[in-house]
Amino acid sequence: MIPRFDTIRIQALLLLQDSAPLRTRDFRAPLARHFELTDEEINAEYPSGNGNIFSDRISWALSYLFIAGLVEKPQRGVYRITQKGREMLKSSTAEQINQYISDIVQARSVDRPATTAGKKKSADEETTVPPAQTPQELLENSYEKIKRSVYAEILTTILGKKPAEFEKLVVKLLQAKGYGGEVKDSGTVTRQTNDGGIDGMIREDVLGFNRISIQAKRYAPQHNVGREEVQRFVGAVAATPSKKGVFITTSGYSRGAADYVRNLNGNPTIILIDGAQMAQYIYDYGLGMQTEKLLEIKKMDMDFWDQMEDGD
């Protein structure tokens, strides 16, 4: 498990106690060994794609140590333990060091000017637990919660529409994902009767040689698509020239249905998309969505600040 950044702070301080100044990237290998991280954990990325989790936690750990005066930066991207840092390692527990860092950070926060390090805290402040997540992680988690809320809203809205509208939506979604290219009328919905188990067709490429069959089922969340329905669709797709199909539902699939498609080994080629995946695609490709707010987050340009002379 990737350690929390408050845990990394202590170990990073211990590393600096026994070594020469270290660059930010020099912390990765010894910290990974100390915490016995796997390659997968070391290389794990945030779901949003905004960076490596382990590196981010190291960066924030060092940043907090610097703000608290336990480390200093003799040059850009290089960290060295201060005398205060050495003293705290000798006289304080890990919990006390983290609480000290938390007090300093809160004291220097624009949002919480009333709390200062060393000042007697109220009963509420005494019970405050130092944050276990970096600001980046708090932002990522808030972002994910907002997205999940919108996903649920998307599915609820779809369930309130007619089945025929859902079939049209599915075709539009595949077009938004790039199928059909610039071909006019690249996607179509079949007639409601005698569709042979196929709800729509979309051209796979710009020239329109191959066509992908579509099956769309607007089901309540608890109504999973079973093997029988998927098997009927597979039979219909097998009779088409391209032998390719996409089955999309607002619910999910039974284990039998998923195993059946997996065992086809691409003959024919069938892709199953459940409600959660579909809602995410709709969100990511902006189908029927509008941007509510853009947040601009800035970081310090150290090339600018490092040109200034340090004080004594």
pLDDT at residue number 12: 93
pLDDT at residue number 181: 52
CA distances from 128 to 110, 120, 170, 209 (A): 18, 13, 48, 64
pLDDT at residue number 177: 84
Which segments in the chain show pLDDT lower than 50? 110-130, 182-184, 192-196
Residue 266 DSSP code: T
b/e per residue, 132-155, with b = 16+ CB within 10 A? eebebbebbeeeeeebeebbeebb
pLDDT at residue number 115: 41
pLDDT at residue number 111: 46
pLDDT at residue number 209: 62
- List pLDDT tens digits, range 244-283: 999 999 999 999 999 999 999 888 999 999 999 999 999 9
Q: Where are the alpha helices (DSSP H) in 160-290?
A: 163-176, 227-238, 255-262, 275-284
Bond before 268 cis per omega within 30 degrees: yes
Residues with Cβ within 8 Å of 173's Cβ and at least 6 positions away in sequence, in order, are 248, 278, 281, 282, 285, 287
Integer Cα distance of 258 and 251 in angstroms: 13
User: pTM for this structure?
Assistant: 0.64
pLDDT at residue number 189: 58
Q: Which residue has the tokens 């997968």?
A: 40
Residue 126 DSSP code: H
What is the phi-psi region of residue 69: left when phi exceeds 0, alpha when psi lies from -120 to 50, beta otherwise?
A: left
3-state helix, strand, coil in the chain (%, to 5): 45, 15, 40
pLDDT at residue number 39: 94
- List pLDDT tens digits, range 152-201: 889 988 998 888 888 889 888 888 887 765 444 555 555 544 444 677 78
3-state SS class at 224: coil
Of 140, 162, 160, nearest to 152 by C-alpha is 160
Domains along the chain with CATH numbers: 5-133 (1.10.10.10), 149-284 (3.40.1350.10)
pLDDT at residue number 41: 93
DSSP string covering 241-255:
SS-EEEEEESS-B-H
Residue 52 DSSP code: B
pLDDT at residue number 192: 47
